[in-house]
Amino acid sequence: RKEVEQDPGPFNVPEGATVAFNCTYSNSASQSFFWYRQDCRKEPKLLMSVYSSGNEDGRFTAQLNRASQYISLLIRDSKLSDSATYLCAVTSNTGGFKTIFGAGTRLFVKA
Amino acid sequence: DVKVTQSSRYLVKRTGEKVFLECVQDMDHENMFWYRQDPGLGLRLIYFSYDVKMKEKGDIPEGYSVSREKKERFSLILESASTNQTSMYLCASSKTGEGYGYTFGSGTRLTVV
């Protein structure tokens, strides 16, 4: 079983739709959680950290469920420019303080 | 604008060559990382470093080594390049502590022929 798993998609949604991604992790000692966005042929860029209480940044909402060991990302009112691959990332202090990335979920937003 | 700079965007090397990939960050970050990214496999950690002259193996260190002689610079070395090392290589840096994400360089696409 992979340490961090995501549905690879692709998710095809119309503009204005709400879309949600989930990401599960296996290490219960994980400490920090993130969502990254990666455009085609570009490097990943930090989208937002995920806090235990949940957090929101404009149209984006991230949540953490430690009991079930998953994080989620909700995108409201999707824009064409949201089309990208979304990577979840989990940091733990097991075997060194390092971050494991999911393989990413592809999102296509269509007009 | 803070940056992580990788020395080459594209590289083509021959099998058996020694390859150096350079990464420099200007954010005074303590931590630096090398990942490779392959379709379907995602980002896999090769090596990381928490301090100057310090290095730790990641998940796939075989065939690679690293050097960190200065805080801002982290080099990845392919001792004898092989075709299965053809990949996108991404360098990243971060501050120490919980909640700090990574800043990535723009990547080096290495092809070994």
Return the percentage of chain B with pLDDT > 90, whole number. 85
Q: Do B89 and B75 form a contact (C-beta atoms < 8 A)?
A: no
- Answer yes or no: do B101 and A101 touch at CB < 8 A: no
Distance of residue A32 Cα from the nearest chain B Cα, in angstroms = 6
pLDDT at residue A28, rounded to an integer: 86
Distance of residue A31 Cα from the nearest chain B Cα, in angstroms = 7
- Answer yes or no: do A103 and B58 touch at CB < 8 A: no
DSSP string, B62-107: TTEEEEEEETTEEEEEESS--GGG-EEEEEEEE-SSTT---EE---
pLDDT by residue (tens digit) across B46-75?
Answer: 999 999 989 999 999 999 999 999 999 999
pLDDT at residue A18, rounded to an integer: 98
B90 chain-A contacts, CB cut-off 8 A: 43-44
d(CA A38, CA B75): 23
pLDDT by residue (tens digit) across A10-45?
Answer: 999 999 999 999 999 998 888 899 999 999 999 999
pLDDT at residue B2, rounded to an integer: 66
Q: Which residues contact B54 (CB under 8 A, 6 or more apart)?
A: B68
- Answer yes or no: do B101 and A49 touch at CB < 8 A: yes
pLDDT at A94 over 70: no
pLDDT by residue (tens digit) across A45-80?
Answer: 999 999 888 899 999 999 999 999 999 999 999 999
d(CA B34, CA B91): 5
pLDDT at residue A92, rounded to an integer: 82
Mean pLDDT value across residues A6-13: 92
pLDDT at residue A101, rounded to an integer: 94
Looking at every residue in chain B, the average pLDDT score rounds to 94
Pair of tokens at residue A106: 């592809």
Of A30 and A101, the structure prediction assigns the larger pLDDT to: A101
CA-nearest residue to B42 within chain A is A103
Q: Do A105 and A9 form a contact (C-beta atoms < 8 A)?
A: yes
- Answer yes or no: do B107 and A43 touch at CB < 8 A: yes
Pair of tokens at residue B102: 């990574």
pLDDT at A96 over 70: no
